[in-house]
Structure 1
């Protein structure tokens, strides 16, 4: 990922927030010389600098044969930025751009089929997302029909070895431009644009580094 130092983010609290906002990642692996991408919800755990992801895939998914090095992409909010929003648009001949936040987590992918571990992942994922939609489905380990469903999935974990985060939020622009863009994005009908505005406003007081 191209990463001008202006847009480098190193605070792992920012990663916590990205995954908390959207834990549906893109998992990239390589098999027989071909890149494969799978899109999966994950459980995220961080203890200091140590980060681990967990989830499950269908037993029929070929990715389960690609244990080893992988890349997990955490997608943050993103938004189109019109040059018409910049106060200095004419004198600086501003052009359109795209603001966004993203994290790349490189690590080692492992798979497992332990029934108890699989049940725990299904239960924790469902608890998290059922609550978010106002429902109350639960995985019940004492129900044979629920346990039987575990035979169709394989669990995975990723021990993250390297974290790269890019928060491109107009940090290379004068403060007035950053304020103007965040104000426009904050009133957008698009949720991702409003979320981008929040990230921008959280960083407006930060010093502007060189590109």
Structure 2
């Protein structure tokens, strides 16, 4: 990903928090010379030794898994984005788009059955926590669980290279910068509001 220095985010804790809050990502790798991509929930795990990995699973019918381990993988996480009208600038006439995107590159491997089971349990526990009646992996009948496990392949991607672009009007003067924030808030949709909030965090009045 092209990341101009002015838009570059290097704070790992900021990036890790973004991944966790926007964990429905895109997994990309290359099989037989063809790029393949799958949209799936991907969990970030930080280990005591300082290493970080991404874990998830895809359907065994998806041919993408057959290339796991044959080269690096790429996981992409994005969420808030918003159109920026040039009418919000004092003089500028070129509109643009503000957004946050994180690309994670690294080697991949296929999880063992036990590792995949642990990964699934961790994922379920995280997302079921907000349910009125949480369901755990242990609530799934054994045969049903076994049949579903046979139909998926778990993976682990070791975080080797992190590229994070926070394109948030950093190149604008204060007048235009705060004008963008004001207009985004007035627009009021979720993406616009989140981008405005991120911009407010990054420049003091």
TM-score, with length taken from structure 1: 0.87
Residues 136-167 of structure 1: CA deviation (Å, up to 9, x unaligned): 12111784122332111111000011001111
Listed as ranges, the matches of 1:1-211 within 5 Å are: 1-47=1-47, 50-67=51-68, 68-86=71-89, 88=90, 92-114=91-113, 116-132=114-130, 134-140=132-138, 143-145=141-143, 146-205=145-204
Q: CA offset at residue 46 of structure 1?
A: 2.8
Query: Which aligned runs of 4 or more in structure 1 are off by greater than 3 angstroms?
Result: 132-135
Q: Deviations over 1:75-122 (max 9, x none)?
A: 131111111122x1xxx33221000111111101111241x2222222
CA contact (8 A) 2:9 2:15 kept: no
Gaps in structure 2 of 5+ consecutive residues: none
Residues 130/188 of structure 1: CA separation in 2 closer, same or farther (3 Å cut): farther
Question: Could you list the per-position Cα deviations for residues 47-92 of structure 1 after superposition, in whole angstroms to 9, with x for gaps in the alignment?
Answer: 5863210011111111111123111111131111111122x1xxx3
CA-atom RMSD, angstroms?
2.0
Q: How many residues align?
A: 201
Map of 1:209 onto structure 2: none
Q: 1:85 to 1:105 in 2, by over 3 A?
A: same
Structure 1 Cα separation of the partners of residues 186 and 157 of structure 2: 38
**Are the counterparts in 1 of residues 20 and 43 from structure 2 also a CA contact under 8 Å?**
no
